[in-house]
Amino acid sequence: MIEDILMFSRIESGRIQYMMDDFEASTIISELSEEWRDLIPANIEFKSLIFRKNAIVHNDKVRMKYIINQFMSNAVKFCKSGRILLYCQYHLNDDMIEYSVIDSGIGMTPDKQKAAFNLFWKDDEFTPGLGLGLSVAQQLADGMGIRITVDSKPGHGSKFSVIAKARLE
């Protein structure tokens, strides 16, 4: 929560700097998988998959990881049982990498999918958090020239993705 507030403050004040560099796309999945493995409740099945190694992304790895971490945090928050899948795949025809978090949680209506990226938006007053995470993620994505997508259906879970340019080596 404190990290979200600090990140929001940096973005709003224009003091955020992006450190663009090449990195192997699958490293984010490996790192986040290791970090989240012991934090996910035992009643939730967690898997991570890398569909293609050797994909290189030129972007800010730390900020991209922050965005995907937000997706993981929400997946755990809104998935009381079931499954969470963290993965990346390379889209050969588009030269893009897609990082996704899919959960079998509560899901969202189309209206809530749009509202979820608004600053301080929360589904209800009982939902933990400040409502900053996805708004900050969207602002970071905009600053890095990447795209966030969401696909969700009430009662059937959600899929949050971040899509960035990539190349194979």
Beta strands 44-50; 82-91: pairing state: parallel
Matching residue, tokens 């700097």: 17
pTM for the model stands at 0.86
Give Cβ neighbours of residue 57 (< 8 Å, ≥ 6 apart).
22, 23, 24, 25, 64, 97, 164, 165, 166
Q: Do the Cβ atoms of 76 and 69 come closer than 8 Å?
A: no
Distance, in Å, from the CA atom of 90 to the CA atom of 100, rounded to the nearest integer, reads 11
Distance, in Å, from the CA atom of 67 to the CA atom of 60, rounded to the nearest integer, reads 11
Distance, in Å, from the CA atom of 166 to the CA atom of 113, rounded to the nearest integer, reads 27
Predicted confidence pLDDT, tens digits, the chain (169 residues): 556 555 555 666 666 788 999 999 999 999 999 999 999 999 999 999 998 888 999 999 999 999 999 999 999 988 989 999 999 999 988 999 999 999 999 998 888 878 777 665 556 565 655 556 788 899 899 999 999 999 999 999 999 999 999 999 8
